[in-house]
Amino acid sequence: MNSRIAVLGAMLLVSTAALAIDAENFPAFKAVDKDHNGLLSREEIQVAIPEVLAVFSRADANADGQSTPAEYEMALRMLSLPPSSWLPAPPSS
Ligand SMILES: [Ca+2]
Ligand SMILES: [Ca+2]
């Protein structure tokens, strides 16, 4: 009984964390935000994960041409990319 409650509590925590998206707890966002201004420009996305540009306009909820963490997360969801591909590939040496 107690373990079931614990599991429900953990699920609640996870869903709450998913709603509170900001750059600090979104490594895939920070990796793309090269100038660390808290927004992703088309140029930053183009360099990191060009596939995202295909849905950029639809995910740009406030149509300012920049992605907030929440908008970027929406774009990634639209693409249904596996989270493992959200981070730019490390430079090959
Ligand atoms: Ca930026
Ligand atoms: Ca925007």
Whether 67 has a pLDDT exceeding 70, the answer reads yes
- Between 10-24, 60-74, 76-90, the lowest mean confidence (pLDDT) is in 10-24
Give pLDDT, residue 25.
Answer: 86
Among all bound ligands, the one having the nearest atom to the CA of 67 is 2
Residue 7 lies in a domain: no
Q: What are phi and psi of 22, to 5 degrees?
A: -140, 170
Residue 42 lies in a domain: yes
Whether 93 has a pLDDT exceeding 80, the answer reads no
Among all bound ligands, the one having the nearest atom to the CA of 34 is 1
Total domains, the chain = 1
| Closest C-alpha to 59, from 70, 46, 71, 49 | 71
Residue 44 lies in a domain: yes
Q: How far is the CA of 3 from the centre of ligand 2 (A)?
A: 41
- Taken in order 46, 78, 59, 30, the sign of the CA dihedral is negative
Q: What is d(CA 7, CA 70) in angstroms, rounded to the nearest whole number?
A: 26
Residue 93 lies in a domain: no
Q: 15-57, pLDDT tens digit by residue?
A: 544 555 788 889 899 999 999 999 999 999 999 999 999 999 9
Q: What is the mean pLDDT of the chain?
A: 83
Q: What CATH number did the domain enclosing 81 receive?
A: 1.10.238.10
